[in-house]
Structure 1
Amino acid sequence: MTQSDFTIDRRTVLSSITGATLVGLAGCTSSRDDSTGSNGTASDGTGDSGPLKQVSVEGLQLVVELTADAEVEHLNVISPNGELFDSQELSQGVSRAAFELGTSYTPGEYRVLALRGEDEIGSSVLAIEPDLQIVEVGIGANHLERFPEELTFKDQQALVTVENRGTGPDAITRLLFKGDVPGPTTDYETGDVSGIWGPDANNQRGVDAVAITADSEETIFSISLPFSFAADNGIDCKSTPQSGSFRVVVQSQIDGKTTASRRIEYSESDRYDGCDTTISD
């Protein structure tokens, strides 16, 4: 993707370069296993786990591994609301099963039931829930070497690193900048504009979503130009230094809205776009 279709003038806002039967539920009142899995990390299930060797989240899947001598014919996964989330019949000798979570599941506790016939022979509970945190915000002008080559206005764009400290995957769907920046992205708050760059993204709307798995981080790049002084709805440089604050907002399908505040300083300049800009926590 290139941005050669865009031009910048002093008073043009560049807002974008911008049901199923529940088999074996009679055992659902058995004692819970409070262990928690993560991306590729096994839960240390004990208690009544029986033939369930480990239950974990790997990428976008819930993965169940069975003991070597397991005689499990069926696996049921029960969602946090008590309804059947998914089910699999297992052939003899199968020791691993995967259930697709994706990025639109209901967060909470999932119970995995191991069945032989209609008898429950083991169960395990796993909390699956993302927890997104913004850990870095950078001005493109200060991180040019980290930006994709396809971006033309790197110095005016932003990078944001998001960390998923939870136990389940999520998908980032929107990136906003509010407050004392040269180009606030208030126009992106509604509609189908994500404001996030991607190699195959529409150069006006951005990508639909960026998946982020548990216990991982993703650095995303803005399609909008929050640090462009060509916008007429933000900060201009002045003959005296200025300081203020702004907020970065990341929206996701499951965790909702995550925000981070940063301080911003502008040096003095005789030109409206000639000052140096720095940000800090």
Structure 2
Amino acid sequence: MTTQQLIEQIQLKKSFLCIGLDVDLTKIPKHLLALEDPIFEFNKAIIDSTHDLCVSYKPNTAFYEAYGIKGWQSLAKTINYLNEKYLEIFTIADAKRGDIGNTSTMYAKAFLEDLNFDSVTVAPYMGKDSVEPFLAFQNKHTIMLALTSNDGAFDFQTKEVNGKEFYKVVIETSKHWKNSQNLMYVVGATKAEYFAEIRKIVPNSFLLVPGIGAQGGNLSDVCTYGMNKDVGLLINSSRAIIYASNGENFAQKAREEAQKIQQEMEAILHNRF
């Protein structure tokens, strides 16, 4: 998917919502556990009930890898279902990979070629040669960790390096990598005051923003400081939507929660544009 196609979906749906598919078998409705593939069936129901309210889905691969080969098969079935039925949806493999060049090449092939996700999250700590293999894929996107929402982010990301906070150094450096136009960045919603500084460095890039809702992030604040002329934001919500109910009505309840966020986004877009 191209960036322009993503922008068009945001305009069409009046939404910049990304729904995280972080499936925990201890939290999904118990009646699904009797099915052959409860993870996929849960995802399918969530997707079918919310696809018109969001522009992106983001499976966190850890929640699939934890169940071994069966979990990986559920992930493959989920992305195949999205690519076959909802091709307009922007898909994110939240894998946070990052390794030396030849290993990164194989990670990139796994997620962007074999599974055919539109994008994958990566950790930039090993530098240019660990990220550029992901950037080499045409019409695919690499979403690089920039400023995360966890407490440990302050251990490194906001420390000063030669008078400049490290997350700024990382973002500025990445702009000079080959095919950097394919970069997006992860910026946690709980650090809304940092968005204005980040926009000075990457005014036109998309930012994937976790931390809304359960983690305490505020949508209005993120939009005030982080939105650009093309919106430029993918706001992720996972638990608040997919676990809105653990009863047989779970898909409808998930839709209701997604719709609340979409309506808030529509109001923000109306006021901004």
* Richer in helix (by share): 2
Larger Rg: 1
The two structures have a TM-score, normalised by structure 1, of 0.21
TM-score between both structures, scaled by the size of structure 2? 0.21
Higher normalized strand content (fraction of residues): 1
